[in-house]
Amino acid sequence: MHNPEQQPALTGVITAQVTPFNQDGTIDFGGFERLLKRQIDAGVHGFALCGSTGEASSLSLEERLELVSRAKALVPAPCHIIVGAGHNNTAEAVALQKAMERSGATATLQVTPWYNKPTQEGLYRHYRAIADSSELPIIIYNVPSRTCSDIQPETVARLLKSCPNICGLKESNLETARVQKLLTFREEHPRFSIVSGEDHLLFSLMALGGQGIIATSSNFAPKLMLDLYNALHANDLVSARPLAWRLSRLAECMFWRTNPIPSKTALSFLGLIEANFRLPLCAMSEEEATQLKARLTAEGWL
Is position 72 annotated as part of the catalytic site? no
**Exposed, middle or buried, 213 (CB in 10 Å: 0-12/13-18/19+)?**
buried
Cβ atoms of 36 and 72 within 8 Å: the answer is no
In whole angstroms, what is the distance from residue 169 CA to residue 73 CA?
27
What would the DSSP string read from start to end of 188-240?
T-TT-EEEESSGGGHHHHHHHT--EEEESGGGT-HHHHHHHHHHHHTT-HHHH
**Could you give the CA distance from residue 215 to residue 224 in angstroms, rounded to a whole number?**
11
The DSSP bridge partners found for residue 26 are: none
Task: Tell me whether residue 124 is one of the annotated catalytic residues.
Answer: no
Catalytic one among 115, 117, 127, 141?
141
Q: Are 276 and 23 in contact (CB under 8 A)?
A: yes
Whether 193 and 167 have beta carbons less than 8 Å apart is answered as yes
Q: Choose, from 127, 170, 229, 264, the residue flagged as catalytic.
A: 170
CB atoms within 10 A of CB 119: 11
Residues designated as active site: 141, 170
